[in-house]
């Protein structure tokens, strides 16, 4: 009935629901950050310190070489990949004949389209983070780097997963997580290859990974081989610095300074309990570390260097008014800029030059300046046009929210 009044071209009801759900989730995040910042006054000095560390370390070849040497000395199988093709080739070699791979969240894997590339070769890739698994199964775009499914309501997820699995899934967050966890667990048990990213690497040869779900531990430990794919820009001079960066990332991604799990791995399982002879043991038998350049060295020497100071917290996305209205059409903050650096500059016309991303970035990365450097044409004209477009879209969304709200309330 309602849809007969509202033209299909004018509104995609599902899109409005997704925007509303996403913005509600971001609002909750901001409120949690505001509440908790008083509990963690150290955040301010930590962010200053880590900004300085990133300024020093990004693009430092000597630091990279030292780290590679130390990782090798600790038994890691280290590879440097120049670009996407090189990284995919290496991963295919490491996978060999295996046809099932379990993976956890990794921005670098996303950057090279790893899942899609492996699927083209007939390899099944199972995402083990609940949010990533949801968007994988439902063929959705991620709306936030650490909360990829925040645009989907519990009802929407339950309905679509019920269709996918051909079974009734209760629309409750707990039930959905329980169902997916069971499904993921069965697949992890069968897989011989696990692939993860890394939040940080240290010069001494340690990998630092943070997570809340417990899945990364499974992906690292259960399969026979563990592949870590990360960028050459993730190296810190010490474990202490890496931990500080991790705390900042966690706070700005979730509002909590400590995630549930912090994994620090600096080698394979080993023991010297018998006559002090060193015996390697346990799974995974081999840990491979792939360090991807993919343009990072060039960026480190360019006017876009600052983007490599990014910790991947996603706070710029959660505070981007353009992303809040355009959703997946404008990735927001750092992610819109990175898309543009990889060639997709068209979306930059949607940026409002409002500087909210810079204001909310713990590393104070000047994303708006870099967007403006990349954008063609007159800046004043771009500014006026992007605001007119945004206002039009925002009014449309607000109007449709009002029209649909009674109907949505009735449905759910």
The residues of the shown chain that bind ligand SF4, judged by CB under 6 A, are: 252, 310-316, 320-322, 332-334, 336, 351-357, 361-363, 365, 367-368
Rank residues 279 and 388 by Cβ distance to ligand SF4 and give the closer one: 388
Least distance in Å: CB of 156 to ligand SF4? Answer: 25
CB 308 within 8 A of CB 59: yes
Least distance in Å: CB of 330 to ligand SF4? Answer: 8
Residue 50 is encoded by which pair of tokens? Answer: 């880590």
Bridge partners, 225 (sequence order): 193, 286
H helix or E strand, kind and range, residue 101: strand 100-103
Distance CA 337, CA 363 (A): 15
Contacts of 131 (CB under 8 A, 6+ apart): 142, 147, 148, 149, 150
Least distance in Å: CB of 238 to ligand SF4? Answer: 20
Rank residues 169 and 340 by Cβ distance to ligand SF4 and give the closer one: 340
Least distance in Å: CB of 362 to ligand SF4? Answer: 6
Rank residues 295 and 321 by Cβ distance to ligand SF4 and give the closer one: 321
Rank residues 136 and 315 by Cβ distance to ligand SF4 and give the closer one: 315
Three-state DSSP class for residue 6: coil
Three-state DSSP class for residue 139: coil
Rank residues 182 and 346 by Cβ distance to ligand SF4 and give the closer one: 346
Buried-state track 212-237, b at ≥16 Cβ within 10 A, e below 16:
bbebbebbbebbebbbbbbbbbbbbb
In terms of Cβ atoms closer than 10 Å to its own Cβ (0-12, 13-18, 19+), residue 311 is buried
Least distance in Å: CB of 72 to ligand SF4? Answer: 30
Distance CA 328, CA 326 (A): 6
Rank residues 108 and 351 by Cβ distance to ligand SF4 and give the closer one: 351
Least distance in Å: CB of 106 to ligand SF4? Answer: 15
Least distance in Å: CB of 241 to ligand SF4? Answer: 15
Least distance in Å: CB of 273 to ligand SF4? Answer: 43
Rank residues 76 and 326 by Cβ distance to ligand SF4 and give the closer one: 326
Rank residues 73 and 355 by Cβ distance to ligand SF4 and give the closer one: 355
* Pairing state between β 270-271 and 279-280: antiparallel
Distance CA 199, CA 66 (A): 19
Least distance in Å: CB of 109 to ligand SF4? Answer: 17
CB atoms within 10 A of CB 295: 17
| Helix%, strand%, coil% for the chain, nearest 5 | 55, 10, 35
Rank residues 289 and 351 by Cβ distance to ligand SF4 and give the closer one: 351
Question: Residue 181, Cα to own-chain centre: how many angstroms?
Answer: 20
């Amino acid at each position: 009935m309602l849809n007969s009044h509202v033209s299909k071209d004018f509104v995609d009801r599902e899109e409005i629901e997704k925007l509303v759900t996403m913005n509600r989730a971001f609002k909750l995040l901001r409120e949690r950050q505001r509440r908790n910042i008083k509990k963690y006054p150290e955040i301010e000095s930590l962010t200053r310190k880590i900004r300085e560390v990133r300024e020093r370390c990004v693009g430092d070849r000597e630091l990279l070489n030292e780290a590679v040497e130390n990782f090798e000395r600790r038994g890691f199988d280290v590879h440097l990949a120049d670009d996407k093709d090189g990284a995919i080739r290496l991963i295919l070699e490491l996978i060999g004949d295996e046809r099932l791979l379990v993976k956890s969240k990794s921005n670098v894997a996303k950057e090279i389209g790893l899942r899609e590339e492996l699927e083209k070769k007939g390899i099944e890739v199972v995402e083990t983070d609940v949010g990533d698994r949801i968007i994988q199964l439902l063929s959705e775009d991620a709306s936030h780097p650490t909360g990829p499914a925040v645009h989907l309501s519990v009802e929407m997820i339950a309905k679509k997963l019920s269709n996918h699995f051909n079974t009734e899934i209760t629309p409750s967050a707990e039930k959905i997580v329980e169902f997916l966890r069971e499904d993921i667990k069965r697949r992890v048990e069968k897989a011989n290859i696990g692939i993860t990213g890394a939040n940080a690497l240290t010069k001494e040869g340690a990998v630092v990974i943070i997570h809340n779900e417990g899945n990364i531990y499974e992906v690292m430990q259960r399969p026979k081989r563990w592949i870590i794919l990360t960028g050459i820009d993730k190296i810190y001079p010490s474990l202490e610095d890496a931990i500080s960066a991790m705390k900042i990332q966690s706070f700005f991604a979730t509002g909590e300074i400590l995630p549930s799990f912090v994994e620090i791995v600096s080698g394979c399982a080993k023991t010297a309990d018998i006559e002090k002879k060193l015996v390697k043991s346990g799974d995974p038998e081999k840990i491979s570390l792939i360090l991807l350049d993919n343009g990072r060295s060039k960026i480190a020497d360019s006017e876009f260097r600052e983007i490599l100071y990014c910790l991947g917290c996603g706070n710029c996305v959660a505070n981007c008014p353009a992303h809040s209205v355009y959703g997946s059409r404008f990735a927001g903050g750092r992610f819109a800029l990175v898309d543009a650096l990889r060639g997709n500059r068209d979306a930059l016309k949607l940026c409002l030059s409002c500087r909210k991303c810079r204001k909310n970035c713990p590393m104070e990365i000047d994303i708006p300046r870099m967007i403006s450097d990349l954008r063609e044409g007159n800046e004043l004209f771009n500014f006026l046009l992007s605001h007119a477009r945004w206002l039009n879209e925002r009014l449309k969304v607000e109007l449709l929210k009002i029209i649909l709200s009674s109907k949505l309330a009735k449905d759910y």
